[in-house]
Chains A and B, each alone.
Chain A
């Protein structure tokens, strides 16, 4: 028989009296509770592998991340997509295990391991039922150190990636992101966001293995272990056992962080038949380590973050030009980019573009009011805490901070830093990064329908969607 853990109780009979309240006003509430990140333990192995551990015993789970500075920006110029392919294939075979064995051994322990690549880093993410943590570390070490890129797996991945790329290229938003990155980052590898059919065809075992041997080394890596962990000494012993003998290696110099100044012009990607125009307006912005980061981050949310932002209220709610209108700041390790984004029907391209430019201009001429800033700072502070509810959420924050080369104080003082931003600071960074007369304008749409009205906004260059 099941235990009776609950009963229906009618509250009225319990003598709890309802408070008399004024329903016409939002309730008065206590101040936002202070929250400190759980203690973060850090060390380095003899081979320079950085190790971070956080105890969170609420659920019998352990979450891991193993991050390497080995992202897309390290791709050779003729092989865009190599880092991405390495990441995807790490778990598809090692010197001693087939992909099937890896999958079955992981399944047996309630574990998962997946590699993914971004602009700066490859991250292997995993989780496991906590009692099987040692076995997960063994498998993690195997895929990170001994991935063998079996011919058959490489072939299958190439076929499937070619199909995915085809699907991606049918999405106007992908074409817009692609052109925007090209315009903003110039000759830096950040300018390439995906492989090409040709590079997919060229990628082979040799290139994959050589990339992995070069960049997947302990002195280029950070390990995060988080959850219901073994006792500290035991956990450290496990890490040493599986990753301690991994040899460090000298790393090649990373690509030079040279970025062009954003040029004010209109770049139209012709997508015949498109009934909507995808608009990106913006340019080069900052990294998280830059003193301008927090003012710009808060400013970009005032401009276009969430349902109370200026772009949302004006372009969507008031003018009705679009379903989506937002701004996004994407800080990477060496630079960032900021874009105001919306998708509008062809007929309103001209007033909608003007509205986007006006909102950018408004950030320079009308800094946020006290109330607008308060709301935005609350929004950002609250979301930050919301993201820490799960092990995945916390692990993602930690590995991102580490891979971006940020000090621990970045996360510890995030809320404080957001709240310290002033309207004057926002206005100042808006002049640098949001001024419409300096912004690049990228549009994806049917050139026969929208190129005429776009000519008004700057020198127009039309390219084909290929």
Chain B
């Protein structure tokens, strides 16, 4: 079979592109008979390859009484499979000079191996073995429940801000349980999870037809394709899983609450506004507003609040905050802003200062010079993001899973750059109003012990 000639393979090692072209990521996409979608993107410059598998299931698919289950399940994926017993996955990848991990998100769960390119088959063997024959045992489950609890203690319960953000913030900003329940889960629900739950979840969601496999890096497409078919083609398809109803009832209401955090030493505040549909014109416009307000050293927050008013110490913000970024944002979700500020200011002052910055966009719009800056910022972020094989694979996988169109990796920048000042102004007026705003103040609670209050840590 001849290689498919539709591909743009401009990026042979070190080839110099015409200066006018920013870059073009080559993409070959196909589907196995069992429904698994596959994306290959060749780049032979460095002998490294990333194998990335993304499944269409995340924490928002969880059922009541099973909070934290998607994440618990992600842990189970590292507990061994029929031919790769417990411990082998890590050992095979690391002993070949690679890195690996998995992560759970609201709308997807993903796994990757980045390793020297001669070991592509090894990564495919491991990924296919666990997709085909995960070892679901009582012992592994017990073990991983403890590991997840330990992770919760270390990452959330014993650190400032995180518990407020993971547990309280979603409850305040959403009204649909599917969206607001704890993604890390309660100890009670984690304890209740059974081997039968794990087996059912595996069968329902970890099927090839609910997955996208992305391979980026030093490959030859023909050989890679053959390996993919060898390892994955005979994994049986399952009925397409149903997705839960995520819609938020009613209209957004203003909400405000104070969370007292015994671990925080510096006050913080979270401000959120429900955002538009993914990839809608408003989505692009609001992303541009975000870049104007918070992108880079010359953003308005940096120049006016960190400098200027000298009230804010640090901030982060994006559509999808805190659990998603713009590339995996899916409504319903917030445009969320998290700020740490100096103790000589009150939370309300910070909220007002942020709203004033937004009001300036709503009233005065955006000048050409600032628009140019924002466009350049977005172009730069996009190009920088393309450099590593892992981040390229993540984008390709997310575009395929969410939009069925990995080519967006090359074209979507055009949608951002086409946004007009009038569209930015209109989006700010429509979405970023006090009437739709949720505020969670995270106030340092008085400390009982001199070295910082701590909960049971193990």
Please report the C-alpha to C-alpha distance between residue A276 and residue B96 in the assembled complex, in whole angstroms: 34
Question: What is the 8 Å Cβ interface bit string for chain A, positions 1-36, against chain B (1 contact, 0 not)?
Answer: 010111111111011101101011111111111010
Interface-lining segment among A53-61, A194-202, A217-225, A399-407: A53-61
Interface-lining segment among A80-88, A357-365, A380-388, A426-434: A380-388
Please report the C-alpha to C-alpha distance between residue A237 and residue B384 in the assembled complex, in whole angstroms: 27
Interface-lining segment among B117-125, B279-287, B327-335: B117-125
Is the CB of B63 closer than 8 A to any CB of chain A? no
Please report the C-alpha to C-alpha distance between residue A30 and residue B96 in the assembled complex, in whole angstroms: 12
Partner of B380, one of A30, A110, A166, A385: A110
Partner of A107, one of B43, B307, B373: B373
Is the CB of B377 closer than 8 A to any CB of chain A? yes
Chain B: how many interface residues by the 8 Å CB criterion? 95
Is the CB of A306 closer than 8 A to any CB of chain B? yes
Instruction: Assess the B458–A275 pair: CB atoms within 8 A.
Output: yes
Is the CB of A287 closer than 8 A to any CB of chain B? no
Partner of A129, one of B298, B379, B454: B379
Instruction: Assess the A60–B383 pair: CB atoms within 8 A.
Output: yes
Contact A35:B46 (CB < 8 A) given known A112-B296, A308-B94: yes
Please report the C-alpha to C-alpha distance between residue A271 and residue B99 in the assembled complex, in whole angstroms: 35
Please report the C-alpha to C-alpha distance between residue A29 and residue B116 in the assembled complex, in whole angstroms: 11
Contact A5:B6 (CB < 8 A) given known A61-B384, A170-B265: yes
Chain B hits for A31, CB < 8 A: 118
Is the CB of A369 closer than 8 A to any CB of chain B? no
Chain B hits for A61, CB < 8 A: 380, 383-384, 387
Please report the C-alpha to C-alpha distance between residue A378 and residue B331 in the assembled complex, in whole angstroms: 44
In the complex, which residues 377-398 of chain B have their Cβ closer than 8 Å to any Cβ of chain A? Answer: 377, 379-380, 383-384, 386-389
Is the CB of B450 closer than 8 A to any CB of chain A? yes
Instruction: Assess the B33–A386 pair: CB atoms within 8 A.
Output: no
In the complex, which residues 41-95 of chain A have their Cβ closer than 8 Å to any Cβ of chain B? Answer: 56-61, 91
Instruction: Assess the A273–B450 pair: CB atoms within 8 A.
Output: yes
Instruction: Assess the B449–A273 pair: CB atoms within 8 A.
Output: yes
Partner of A10, one of B16, B31, B230, B380: B31
Q: In the complex, what's the smallest C-beta–C-beta distance from A129 to chain B, in angstroms?
A: 6
Partner of B116, one of A18, A32, A112: A32
Instruction: Assess the B122–A27 pair: CB atoms within 8 A.
Output: yes
Instruction: Assess the B297–A106 pair: CB atoms within 8 A.
Output: yes
Instruction: Assess the A112–B229 pair: CB atoms within 8 A.
Output: no
Q: How large is the interface on A (under 10, 10 to 19, 20 to 34, 35 or more residues)?
A: 35 or more
Is the CB of A103 closer than 8 A to any CB of chain B? yes
Is the CB of B244 closer than 8 A to any CB of chain A? no
Contact A15:B1 (CB < 8 A) given known A110-B377, A380-B97, A386-B48: yes
Is the CB of A159 closer than 8 A to any CB of chain B? yes
**SS class, residues of chain B in contact with chain A:** loop
Chain B hits for A389, CB < 8 A: 46, 48, 387-389
Contact A308:B383 (CB < 8 A) given known A5-B7, A275-B457: no
Instruction: Assess the B97–A159 pair: CB atoms within 8 A.
Output: no
Please report the C-alpha to C-alpha distance between residue A134 and residue B62 in the assembled complex, in whole angstroms: 53
Residue of B nearest to A372 (CB): B95
Residue of B nearest to A377 (CB): B97
Contact A58:B43 (CB < 8 A) given known A23-B125, A274-B451: yes
Instruction: Assess the A273–B454 pair: CB atoms within 8 A.
Output: yes
Chain B hits for A12, CB < 8 A: 32-33, 233
Please report the C-alpha to C-alpha distance between residue A112 and residue B120 in the assembled complex, in whole angstroms: 35
Please report the C-alpha to C-alpha distance between residue A275 and residue B230 in the assembled complex, in whole angstroms: 51
Q: In the complex, what's the smallest C-beta–C-beta distance from B304 to chain A, in angstroms?
A: 10
Q: In the complex, what's the smallest C-beta–C-beta distance from A160 to chain B, in angstroms?
A: 6
Chain A hits for B230, CB < 8 A: 18-19, 21
Chain A hits for B453, CB < 8 A: 273
Instruction: Assess the A58–B95 pair: CB atoms within 8 A.
Output: no
Please report the C-alpha to C-alpha distance between residue A18 and residue B302 in the assembled complex, in whole angstroms: 56
Is the CB of B407 closer than 8 A to any CB of chain A? yes
Chain A hits for B359, CB < 8 A: none
Please report the C-alpha to C-alpha distance between residue A392 and residue B387 in the assembled complex, in whole angstroms: 9
Instruction: Assess the A159–B116 pair: CB atoms within 8 A.
Output: no
Is the CB of A104 closer than 8 A to any CB of chain B? yes
Chain A hits for B94, CB < 8 A: 306-308, 375, 379
Instruction: Assess the B30–A10 pair: CB atoms within 8 A.
Output: yes
Instruction: Assess the A276–B27 pair: CB atoms within 8 A.
Output: no
Is the CB of A422 closer than 8 A to any CB of chain B? no
Please report the C-alpha to C-alpha distance between residue A380 and residue B116 in the assembled complex, in whole angstroms: 11
Question: What is the 8 Å Cβ interface bit string for chain B, positions 40-59, against chain A (1 contact, 0 not)?
Answer: 00010111100000000000
Please report the C-alpha to C-alpha distance between residue A127 and residue B233 in the assembled complex, in whole angstroms: 43
Question: What is the 8 Å Cβ interface bit string for chain B, positions 90-129, against chain A (1 contact, 0 not)?
Answer: 1110111111000000000000001111111110010001
Residue of B nearest to A113 (CB): B297
Contact A6:B407 (CB < 8 A) given known A108-B372, A379-B97: yes
Please report the C-alpha to C-alpha distance between residue A381 and residue B387 in the assembled complex, in whole angstroms: 21
Chain B hits for A127, CB < 8 A: 380, 384
Question: What is the 8 Å Cβ interface bit string for chain B, positions 386-430, against chain A (1 contact, 0 not)?
Answer: 111100000000000000001100010000000000000000000
Instruction: Assess the A378–B97 pair: CB atoms within 8 A.
Output: yes
Contact A107:B150 (CB < 8 A) given known A5-B7, A59-B383, A385-B46: no
Is the CB of A116 closer than 8 A to any CB of chain B? no
Question: What is the 8 Å Cβ interface bit string for chain A, positions 403-437, against chain B (1 contact, 0 not)?
Answer: 00000000000000000000000000000000000
Instruction: Assess the A27–B125 pair: CB atoms within 8 A.
Output: yes
Contact A307:B450 (CB < 8 A) given known A12-B33, A112-B296: no
Instruction: Assess the A9–B95 pair: CB atoms within 8 A.
Output: no
Please report the C-alpha to C-alpha distance between residue A379 and residue B114 in the assembled complex, in whole angstroms: 12
Contact A11:B122 (CB < 8 A) given known A129-B376, A167-B266, A170-B265: no
Is the CB of A391 closer than 8 A to any CB of chain B? yes
Chain A hits for B369, CB < 8 A: 108
5 further contact pairs, Cβ within 8 A, besides A8-B31, A18-B233, A27-B125: A5-B407, A12-B32, A60-B17, A129-B379, A389-B48
Can you list 25 A-B pairs, Cβ within 8 angstroms, ordered by A?
A: A4-B6, A6-B29, A7-B30, A19-B226, A31-B118, A33-B118, A59-B383, A59-B386, A60-B22, A61-B380, A106-B297, A108-B369, A112-B296, A131-B19, A167-B265, A272-B451, A307-B90, A308-B94, A323-B150, A323-B151, A375-B94, A379-B94, A382-B96, A386-B114, A390-B387
Footprint of A on B, CB under 8 Å?
1, 4, 6-8, 11, 14-17, 19, 22-23, 27-33, 43, 45-48, 82-84, 90-92, 94-99, 114-122, 125, 129, 150-151, 154, 218, 225-226, 229-231, 233-234, 265-266, 296-298, 302-303, 307, 310, 313, 342, 369, 372-373, 376-377, 379-380, 383-384, 386-389, 406-407, 411, 449-454, 456-458
**Top 7 A-B residue pairs of the complex, sorted by shortest distance between their CB atoms:** A382-B97, A273-B449, A375-B95, A103-B298, A110-B380, A33-B47, A27-B121
